[in-house]
Structure 1
């Protein structure tokens, strides 16, 4: 199926690894020109080289989005190859701090990294999309935005902010041809999550093979209806849909890709 992204240009923040890398690779495979962003030039360049080797088109954008100067630099690099039609705000950080450990300073830093960084790019790129009458803005959120855990409260709150701002932006962009949506992953089997599961498996007696560990973790630790955790490519596929013309009637929405971890009737 042709998702009609050929000729569109997409900036995916935090795309030198994990969900961002998978998203950049899939957008490129579907014909988009992709801007791969990160702070580590070697890692970013490796992803760009891999996309180009596979026949895709990709450019590098290096910069720290927690400062205005850094955001300006990233935008300048992204626009050097042409107008940006698709913005995927994926960059962010998380940890497993408790309420007692998450000081006000940690809250402030996490909000700056996970929320304000995306706002900087929205304010720099969305007016240009509006002028052209076409654009896609996609936040990577998560189920913890609406069903938070006791731990990492500061991280949970930033996800809620991402969800909230996406809806506000959709209202702001009504009738403009630019949409704003959220993809909300469940637990996704990135390298970091795999390492964590292996580390905690002995204490929970989840077994020896990774297949056993994942099955038990998806039943006992973060239960879902599928019985496994998601793969980065499954999140990327949701982003590709929302970025495509086929999602022109979707705005202000949250697309949950979580195996049924978050249950609702609406």
Structure 2
């Protein structure tokens, strides 16, 4: 299927690794000119280099979206070579904390990075999309938005806010040709997730080899119809669809990509 992304320019925030990297690479493979965003120059340049080596178009932009001035600089730099047609709000942050460790300061910092940073980019880039009569905003959310765990409550709450703001934005953009949607991943096997599971496995009796840890952690934490973790490219495919011409009639939607996650474990 041709997604008709040739000639479109896409900014993927937090795309120097993980899900954002997978999204940037897939959009580039579909013909979009991608702006790879990160805070670490070497990691950000690596992703862009790999996109270009594969025949795609990529530039880079650095900046911390938790600060107004840097966010404005990122938006301005992203649009230097042409208007941004697609904004993927992927950048996010969390620490694995319990209620007692998650101080009010931690809540505020997490909210600023995970929610307000996306609002900053929307405010900078979406007005021009509205004027042109075409645009895509995709927010990366998660199942913890609606069925939170007892751990990292500050992160769970920011996911709920991300889902909510994306739907509110869709209502605001009624009739403009610009859509706003959410992709809601389940547990995706990026490096940070693998490191976390390996770290907590001994205390939970999940075995010693990665094969044992993966099997037991899926059963204990994320029972789902596919009986496995998701892969980054599966999230990227959902984002690419929502960015395409074929998704013009999809707005204010949450697309779950979680293997049919069953939350009965919590």
TM-score band w.r.t. shorter chain: over 0.9
Alignment of 1:245-264 (within 5 A): 245-261=245-261
Report what 1:110 is aligned to.
Answer: 110
Is the counterpart of residue 123 in structure 1 residue 123 in structure 2? yes
Report what 2:205 is aligned to.
Answer: 205
SS at match of 1:233: helix
Residue 87 of structure 1 contacts residue 138 of structure 1 at CA under 8 Å; is this kept in 2?
yes
In 1, the alpha carbon distance for the partners of 2:228 and 2:87 equals 29
Report what 2:30 is aligned to.
Answer: 30
Report what 2:231 is aligned to.
Answer: 231
The number of aligned residues is 263
In 2, the alpha carbon distance for the partners of 1:99 and 1:216 equals 25
In 2, the alpha carbon distance for the partners of 1:101 and 1:200 equals 17
What residue ranges of structure 1 are gaps of 5+ in the alignment?
A: none
In 1, the alpha carbon distance for the partners of 2:106 and 2:141 equals 19
Report what 2:92 is aligned to.
Answer: 92
Q: TM (normalized to structure 1)?
A: 0.96
Report what 2:168 is aligned to.
Answer: 168
Deviation, 1:96, is: 1.3
Alignment of 1:130-149 (within 5 A): 130-149=130-149
Residue 222 of structure 2 contacts residue 262 of structure 2 at CA under 8 Å; is this kept in 1?
no
Q: CA RMSD in A?
A: 1.1
What residue ranges of structure 2 are gaps of 5+ in the alignment?
A: none
Residue 39 of structure 2 contacts residue 64 of structure 2 at CA under 8 Å; is this kept in 1?
yes
Q: TM (normalized to structure 2)?
A: 0.96
In 1, the alpha carbon distance for the partners of 2:152 and 2:196 equals 16
